[in-house]
Amino acid sequence: MSLEKYQTELIEHGMSAGALKFGTFTLKSGRTSPYFFNAGLLASGPVLDTLCSAYAATIADALKSSPGLPQFDVLFGPAYKGIPFAAGTALLLHRDHKIDVGFAYDRKEAKDHGEGGITVGSPIKGKRVVILDDVATAGTAIRGAIETVKREGGEVVGAVLMLDRQEVGKEGKSSIAEVEELLGGKGRVPTILKMKDLMRWLQEHGRTEELAKMQEYWEQYGAKDQA
């Protein structure tokens, strides 16, 4: 199965921006990974266009899938990286897919003047919310965002990710499967890219040494329920 055009463009733009690298990297989890994706470096107009177009296409496809994302009202981008990603994706959902949703994000510190509160943007109280995040390894960031939205009175009905590392979490299941259970079941956490997509790209471009290291890492840490 070949990659979608937006998946290939995101991989190649990510590499040219220095955001996606293959090599040897120590993760927060302590694991030594053969690749690393730093979404904070996706910081130019063309790259942001590529990323947000991919988020928007992934969301639009997931809304038409079964099981998939349910209808929702607000995209929530956790500060700080999630802020431009959520804004850009909401714009492209409207322009390219005729899907109209609000966007919101959180402050690192609650504001005690003006409108106050911990969230900014479209009101989320009583709304159906989809969280937009970058890379899921352990799922910690998504869980934190779910708590923020709940605290503000919103209902989290799904999440969309840039990259699923497809790794086994602490409970022996993939972190995505664990978050899907929190959000109501399979299909609630669509992703633009999975580790297996990166491996497919390496294979298609004859990068056998990097592919072998990715395969070795998959054998050790890969969530086989997602293979």
- Concatenate the DSSP letters of all residues of 176-192 into one string: HHHHHHHHTSTTSS-EE
Catalytic residue flag (residue 113): yes
Q: Is the pLDDT of residue 52 over 70?
A: yes
| Mean pLDDT score of the chain | 90
Task: Give the type of residue at 214.
Answer: M
Q: Is the pLDDT of residue 36 over 90?
A: yes
Whether 227 shows a pLDDT value over 80: the answer reads no
Strand, helix or coil at 22?
A: strand
Which residue among the candidates 94, 111, 186, 224 is catalytic per the annotation? 111
The β-bridge relationship of strands 155-164 and 128-136 is: parallel
Point out the catalytic residue in the list 28, 64, 108, 113.
113
Place of tokens 């970058």: 134
Domains and CATH numbers, the chain: 5-226 (3.40.50.2020)
Asked whether the predicted pLDDT for residue 89 surpasses 60, the reply is yes
Active site residue 108: no
Which whole number is the average pLDDT over 94-108?
A: 95
CB 69 within 8 A of CB 194: no
Enter the tokens of residue 187: 């299909």
Is the pLDDT score of 60 beyond 70? yes
Least confident interval from 25-29, 100-104, 137-141, 162-166: 137-141
